[in-house]
Chains A and B, each alone.
Chain A
């Protein structure tokens, strides 16, 4: 297929999805009307219609504090393909209850907290979940790790109790976990009520800013936070002991870097040295550092301690807005899979960033054609650098260089102004 034909097919796909979704997703219809966009005739046409990731937290936070679930679902409906009008909201006490009810009605809402402390809510359909799970297995298989139940499986954590995370954990356990594998951490799942906890965190933060939080409320919140941290620490200790007991057997880790790094620290505290763990272990990691600051060589430290080689490490770039993952290749670059359309935009996310010598740098934006529960266009907060030519690994098509940064980390640190925000007056709230 020639490049032009392929390009035309992409635009046809985008337009077909646009025509369908604008009738389904009210927020998209509103945006399209405001921009005067009737159809997608070029890649540029879709740019004003890509949703910044912040769209999914554009509800007023007070709706949660006041338990105004009807308004919150109205808001969610405006961003959804499938109507959110059929949800039983009677007796809903907190966000966890709400998420359960939404899930019972087929809305697998994915929620996560951002740097502001306000949680996002993305409506995903069962089909979205299916695609995402299958994409994980495909990525692992492409790397040379097809499903076979010969591994100890360790979901390092932290355990969130979120149904999307649970589904991924169960999939990996069911696909890779040997029947006689390391048993799960025996304590009761600490993360029950995760959303309610995050909502409380957010509410306390807001109350601090408003000046209404009492010292006792703050102390209670800090105690709860410390308790959750201690529970997580106990869990990591449990895994560390299990790893040392099974040090020559194959272990499959699923985690985030911050937890993994803490795990290697605990292993070291228990006396383990690089090379002690000899099983040919595998790892999959999604997401970045989430605000944790780790030593520059944290990845190398993790690989040495846990005996992970690049051929057994499924490293990808993705986000909760996408079903599909951009797998990292042997040349350490992230490749765009079919089904996903990459845009590199200017800093403000308004126009394509200029290309030069087959290179383009700017704000990452995607259209995931597999997204079913929402509009599939997303503008990220990430600054990426893309090579449009063939990659050293042999594949053609654009590839994203490692070293993805967040625009929010690139603010002017020498700018002084008298205009402030209340946030500057709220000290010491760190995300879980």
Chain B
């Protein structure tokens, strides 16, 4: 890693505090190695009994009105500004030591991780998810067509969250979600970022130290897959649901504990793609604009994110598609908020496959290089390898509808140009398994209150309980 930090030399041990039901815990009892860069870090000893209130008791936040929780989250967001928040600053410095991304991009992700937390946004989201916010605060009475009366509550659940190490806003999202449903929570922090969740919780603790929401939360680290912890904790007697963000063997391993009374809510690991219609070739200027939009989607976090497009289906003849490829290649090598002009080099397995294709022209054609500035491969069908490190596979199609064949159950986001043609393909894409269709260039943005990974997550989090008079 080339970035230097002033706080801690990268060879020395990093101290990672735990946050246990409102209290910050320091300790050097257990030492781990972050695999990404081999930086050792130390955590306090894990005391499992202290992580959460037992099922014999109500959770601390069960009876806190949701509007008060929103107040607390909105207040928190005001304090989540990198320039003024020393916890975020510290977390940023530590994240830099274990992250593959450069300082500039990490700083972008730390700038304002709570910006989506406004009262309006949160209320809108709850209304879209639950229809009636009162379901969270108490028992909402209704009468069925037979005249039978019952009362329903979106009852606070007991959740264990396995967090992904993607970004601070992901940590903030998980905390906000957990707070909104008033859950009893244990956050298992990722080895790629065992800092930021605690940084956010400390920020909240400074605002209101003993808030019931904080007494409902513990954020700790153990090595993913450690049966001494997971085989003990991952039981229906302690938790209702395992909320798993992402993929990898740690999640696969944890998923094995799912069973009666202990459900898996899985935000699966995903791939994304784009579809470019023939309108892109209306003029040279349009082509350049479309190439820029496509590049913006493909390069998110140097393409190390589920929303980053890897394959682009282009409606056109070979000559047109090749012009698009050339324009795209140029735009891949550009500095962006969340991408570097020159990212990590092309991995050797991709390089080998691509070099093999150079001998198969004209069916296959290659643009760019292996230096991390961008590589584009045009092939008659999607390539065998998984494009990473700013590698984009462009596949010509005769019509936009043909591109749906490239979408699978693993496809998350599909960016489409021009916007009005989304309607033409969205049913085909959804049939194949796609869960999100956006306009090209907007993979990273989104509207509020939308479903995620084919569900309304908060709706899945809560326990739907009925008090029936029938």
Contact = CB atoms under 8 A, between A and B. Distances in A.
Interface of A: 26-27, 30-31, 51-52, 54-55, 58-62, 71, 74-75, 77-79, 118, 206, 209-211, 348-349, 411-425
A308 B182 CA distance: 66
B289 interface: no
Contact of A416 (B165, B271, B386): B165
B408 A209 contact: yes
A419 B269 contact: yes
Given A26-B359, A211-B432, A416 B408 contact: no
Given A415-B191, A416-B163, A419-B271, 7 more contacts: A60-B379, A60-B384, A74-B360, A211-B408, A417-B246, A419-B246, A420-B246
B380 interface: yes
11 contacts: A26-B359, A52-B349, A54-B352, A60-B381, A415-B192, A417-B165, A418-B306, A420-B306, A423-B386, A424-B247, A424-B268
Interface in B290-325: 304-306, 308
B246 A418 contact: yes
Q: Which residue, B249, B267, B359, B381, has most C-beta atoms of chain A within 10 A?
A: B359
B262 interface: no
A413 B248 contact: yes
B200 interface: no
B401 interface: no
A210 to B, nearest CB: 6
B433 interface: yes
Contact of A419 (B251, B304, B379): B304
Interface of B: 35-36, 162-166, 190-192, 223-225, 245-251, 253, 267-271, 304-306, 308, 348-349, 352-360, 363-364, 379-381, 383-384, 386, 405, 408-410, 432-433
B245 A210 contact: no
A431 to B, nearest CB: 16
Contact of A412 (B35, B267, B383): B35
Contact of A415 (B35, B354, B384, B408): B35
Contacts of B349: 52, 54
Nearest to A212: B405
A417 B271 contact: no
Given A61-B384, A348-B348, A414 B250 contact: yes
Nearest to A51: B352
Kindly list the 5 A-B residue pairs having the minimum CB-CB distance in the complex, ordered from nearest: A420-B269, A58-B356, A412-B35, A78-B359, A418-B306
Nearest to B364: A60
Contacts, number: 152
Nearest to B354: A58
B36 A52 contact: no
A332 B267 CA distance: 48
Contacts of A52: 348-349, 352
A121 to B, nearest CB: 11
Nearest to B357: A60
B432 A413 contact: no
A180 to B, nearest CB: 50
A79 B355 CA distance: 11
Contacts of B190: 414-416
Given A52-B352, A54-B352, A417-B166, A422 B381 contact: no
Contacts of A74: 359-360
A229 B443 CA distance: 47
B269 A418 contact: yes
Given A209-B408, A413-B250, A419 B356 contact: no
Contact of B355 (A31, A62, A206, A210): A31
A52 B433 CA distance: 35
Contacts of B192: 415-417
A349 B348 contact: yes
A425 B409 contact: yes
A118 B356 CA distance: 15
A52 B225 CA distance: 32
Most buried by B among A62, A417, A420, A425: A417
B246 A27 contact: no
Nearest to B269: A420
Nearest to A77: B359
B251 A416 contact: yes
Contacts of A412: 35-36, 191
Given A27-B359, A413-B250, A414-B250, A419 B191 contact: no
Contact of A414 (B191, B245, B433): B191
A60 B349 CA distance: 13
Nearest to A209: B408
B352 A422 contact: no
A366 to B, nearest CB: 17
Given A60-B379, A71-B360, A419-B305, A414 B224 contact: yes
Contacts of A60: 357, 360, 364, 379, 381, 383-384
B355 A27 contact: yes
A62 B223 CA distance: 40
Contacts of B360: 59-60, 71, 74-75
A210 B246 contact: no
A256 B387 CA distance: 35
A203 to B, nearest CB: 12
Nearest to A421: B386
Contact of B433 (A77, A206, A211, A348): A211
A254 to B, nearest CB: 32
Greatest chain B CB density within 10 A among A31, A61, A415, A420 is at A415
A71 B433 CA distance: 33
A60 B360 CA distance: 10
A100 to B, nearest CB: 23
Nearest to A118: B384
Nearest to A31: B355
B410 A418 contact: no
B204 to A, nearest CB: 24
A30 B358 CA distance: 9
A174 B268 CA distance: 56
Nearest to A117: B384
Contacts of B383: 60
A113 B35 CA distance: 30
